[in-house]
Structure 1
């Protein structure tokens, strides 16, 4: 991060090093390629409702790295420096929102193994993500435009640190939720379907990348905060320019760019639309093979109770959740007509349907898939 150690003096370089020209250009290209692939797959699978944030996050992240590439040639341009700082910081929280959507769809696909209302959990994660995004943008703007005002830099660093730690906590909760669903599925009496196993492993990996990124960026933010606290006589030169983390550019490439590039390419190679149905009311039957068109998650409580306790934590803690267990009566719900994602016979690609027997009872269909 660039730091202005004096007020009223024109700065020729807002970075604490001579920034690379090639590295941000390479990352811009990689992020751009991944963004194009996500656009293609969203059109191909018609999975916009779930993975739209991969496109939005990719666009924001791409703008950040393009701005950094341009800024590396104009190190004294404050506006470019502010743009690259804010957009690079803002991209990853938006990427994470896509993971929240994926987990929400997984919970709807496996309602019998879901401890909480999938739709309310998704809303909670999205709001927390929006909070992270807001804190990130505010903190980045403060630090980038501090112009030597150390109190402003301190407040900006605090906001950034809080945002990074909050995102790490949210990702940890997300991984724990996926782990619990995976565990319940493995102990549900039927083998874990390949599509569920594949998706869980993907979510473990992508969330771990985000957590690593958040922790390392938080270290950078706290390092800056400590360096600013050591400033004496209105100058931060000796305190900041001798700090290893702040004065080496590779840190941002290794712990910001690389994890998030891996994150977005991982979700391209193992796209969730290959594992989950487009319609969220479609769920996996208890046999671990058949898929049915259910009613979706139904909360039996009154409106004021759902408002007071949206996640039904009181029911969960008592061991008696207040939701309809529609999956225990599979005969009431029609079979999915285009195969099964669990058996690898269904697809979200438009115009394609799996070839299954035209007339099948639930028993014979379970055997056929």
Structure 2
């Protein structure tokens, strides 16, 4: 097989780099290992598990990309690399959704929706987005000369990216609402402010990645079936590293440098009192509605319209809930790295005490 034939049969529109995928697989993998260490250190697995899962998927994608660069005509490896690279970022985003939920558990008086339904709500939406994206990436990668399949795959990818961008915009709006309410109530403690800025930043990078990838997908429609001179986005490898890898690399390392386990309590029943300094161990979020109603109306729009909230405002009864004796995350005197008496305190509390 001559070089011209090899080039014609290549699944890439350029000569893929062998070195860059290997280097960045190592960088993403190093961040994954550090996340695992920090989750163990702060015992924060329930909140940030998805960072590790997303890191594992994303690292696998770049390893497969490296293998695919040596075998540019191997369709199976190419499809696998495309799929894993596409699915990693939405899973990373699920970690941010979980952090938003835990932040609202910490600040229940400023919660926009039921904190215990945030992850479930966004994960269901994210699962739908991911299913669309994976289906599109697989169809697009395996289309070959089938222009209809190529177009339908690109359409699915673009739809998935647009939906992801909408979800990220909604997350930013929720964080901004909590941030504003805390500021007005003079409860903007340093840890709350740091978490809000972290969530703004990471969600913005996911949003940037979605926009750039959507532009790439739309560019496919104008160049259906091309194998050369396909425009700068499809014909240059550096776009992939700049707009797919770059934002998510910053996302994962940002979460490592400012790990939420340093700023939020492990127990979701632990909340910040209205004085902005003291933390108490409360009963947790208590919604008077049925479980199905909280799923159907997570924003409690019915209660808003009636002017009657559907949850218990337990933070108004300060004296009923014990003060946490191990310090406060708001003042930087508490940590998740040690087992404290508050764990026993929590076990002794009744949700309706």
TM-score by length of 2: 0.91
Correspondence list, 1:73-92, <5 A: 73-92=70-89
Structure 2 residues without counterparts, runs of 5 or longer: 1-5, 343-353
Stretch deviating more after TM superposition (28-37 or 17-26): 17-26
How does 1:1-369 map onto structure 2 within 5 Å?
Answer: 12-188=9-185, 190-228=186-224, 236-237=226-227, 241-302=229-290, 305-306=293-294, 308-351=296-339
Q: In structure 2, do the counterparts of structure 1 residues 270 and 302 end up closer, same or farther at CA, with 3 Å as the change threshold?
A: closer
Task: Determine the C-alpha separation between the residues in 1 that align with 2:229 and 2:71.
Answer: 20
Do the aligned partners of residues 340 and 254 (structure 1) sit closer, same or farther apart at CA in structure 2, a change above 3 Å counting? Answer: same
Query: 1:6 maps to what in 2?
Result: none
**Secondary structure of 2:9's partner?**
coil
Once the 2 structures are TM-superposed, how far is the Cα of residue 319 of structure 1 from its aligned partner? 3.6
Structure holding more helix per residue? 2
Q: d(CA) in 2 for partners of 1:131 and 1:303?
A: 21
2:350 equivalent in structure 1: none
Q: CA deviation at 1:316?
A: 2.2
1:148 shift after superposition: 1.4
> Could you tell me how far apart the structure 2 residues matched to 1:94 and 1:256 are?
14
**What is the aligned residue count?**
337
| Cα distance between partner residues in 2 of 1:13 and 1:97 | 35
8 Å CA contact 1:121–1:311 kept in 2: the answer is no
Contact 2:187–2:274, Cα closer than 8 Å, also in 1:
no
What SS is found at the alignment partner of 1:292? strand
Unaligned segments of structure 1, at least 5 residues? 1-8, 229-234, 355-369
Output the CA distance in 1 between the equivalents of 2:340 and 2:321. 23
What TM-score results when the alignment is normalised by the length of structure 1? 0.87
For residues 300 and 61 of structure 1, the distance between their equivalents in structure 2, rounded to whole angstroms, comes to 40
Q: Pairwise CA RMSD of aligned residues?
A: 1.8
Could you tell me how far apart the structure 1 residues matched to 2:341 and 2:69 are? 50
